[in-house]
A and B are shown apart, each in its own frame.
Chain A
């Protein structure tokens, strides 16, 4: 067991623990904060895989953007003393079935092995190569995603503006 493996297991346990807190905690703000730690754990796992750029972007976007928006939404729409949310509902049986099916599929895919689509990039050029790829080979999906984000922003502004004009 090398140090890297030990660190990996520690980080994986931390991430899984936080993820379990997200679904099992009763206080919804606790769930959101546990989500922050989950994302952080995932970013740390990216670092172990030598994908530093992806780790930084994961923290920047998920922790710094999505969870903050989530926290805003929770705090502005619920009461101060957020009462507990129900953890299980009547669809527990079917969802357990679906989850185990997906788990079986993932184990099978892992054991079968992945076919490498492209050669792994040398670590020191990862960020630059990523940039070059985004703007040459994958420029079309990149631009499509940008337009999607622009549409989302415009929609949000129009919705918020309409509420403002209402008062």
Chain B
């Protein structure tokens, strides 16, 4: 990869073009690859979710569109959403209404900078890797509040504020549960964290950290059992109730992209990233990530929904103390071992 880049730059240097031009071109190519990967991955995840939910519920799921087990169902749904009428509610704040899905999607997209698909397959190995993801994920909350408020609908605002409260509350145990891993490795960089798991995956020493992280991640993604902000069968509708067509599709896309991101980070931090015998590293990474996504989907279709106050209770009174305990014990063990 490095040598190919060198040759690419030298071509432009030979023509006397300033160096930022090839750098810009490389950046644009990388961004396109990432967006392409996200699109394909999200379409696959949507199809997969429908299949998994169907088989758990003793039915078949999509079977017809595109032939084999309805693999083109997501594409058909995407086209349908694109063709829908773009409705902006009367009295809504047009600019903020249009901006909100973009903010949410931008936050979901930006987190892909630090995902280590393989030993050299990372957009940029920032040395604040994990912290970067944590700070970007708080941008999603701003987008949600914007979406809820701009819909000019009392229930939207309440739903958005509730969702924001949930996201903010579960960010804290998320961060603290990751601290155990960071302390063990001594660095925030994703590549170094994955490299440190050559001998043993961190899920074994940091088992409780892993469980806390998984629970907090499901809550961050607004998935069942923590999906009260989006629950249609409850009284107050969610923050994206007034969005239809492509704008809704962007929210949907962002939610699934988020799911992939948290699973990827769980893989990199706890499940050994790309380490594994026989298969190429990026394949191992994808297998592990999709396994965690499978677990998330499995939980969604099996469990009931937590009520808002029970959700907050769980986050603040159960997960957070456990996460602190985990961090404390990890620190103690590290100090004793020198």
Contact = CB atoms under 8 A, between A and B. Distances in A.
B252 interface: no
Interface in B146-190: 146, 149, 152, 154, 157, 161, 164-165, 168, 171, 188
B149 A63 contact: no
B231 to A, nearest CB: 21
A36 B144 CA distance: 13
A64 B139 contact: yes
B128 interface: yes
Interface string A6-36: 0000000000000000000001011001001
Given A52-B126, A52-B128, A53-B131, A64 B93 contact: no
A29 B96 contact: yes
B134 A60 contact: yes
Main secondary structure of the interface of B (DSSP, over half): helix
Contacts of A71: 142, 145, 149, 164
A68 B131 contact: no
Contacts of B99: 33
Per DSSP, chain A at the interface is helix
B14 to A, nearest CB: 20
A75 interface: yes
A59 interface: yes
Contacts of A30: 93, 96
B128 A64 contact: no
Q: Interface size class for chain B?
A: 20 to 34
Contacts of B131: 53, 56-57, 60
A124 interface: yes
* 10 residue pairs, one from A and one from B, having the closest CB atoms: A64-B138, A60-B135, A59-B135, A3-B20, A56-B131, A56-B135, A52-B128, A71-B145, A56-B128, A36-B142
Interface of B: 18, 20, 91, 93, 96, 99, 126-128, 131-132, 134-139, 141-142, 145-146, 149, 152, 154, 157, 161, 164-165, 168, 171, 188
Given A68-B138, A72-B164, 12 more contacts: A33-B99, A53-B128, A56-B135, A57-B131, A59-B136, A59-B138, A59-B139, A60-B131, A63-B139, A72-B145, A76-B161, A80-B154
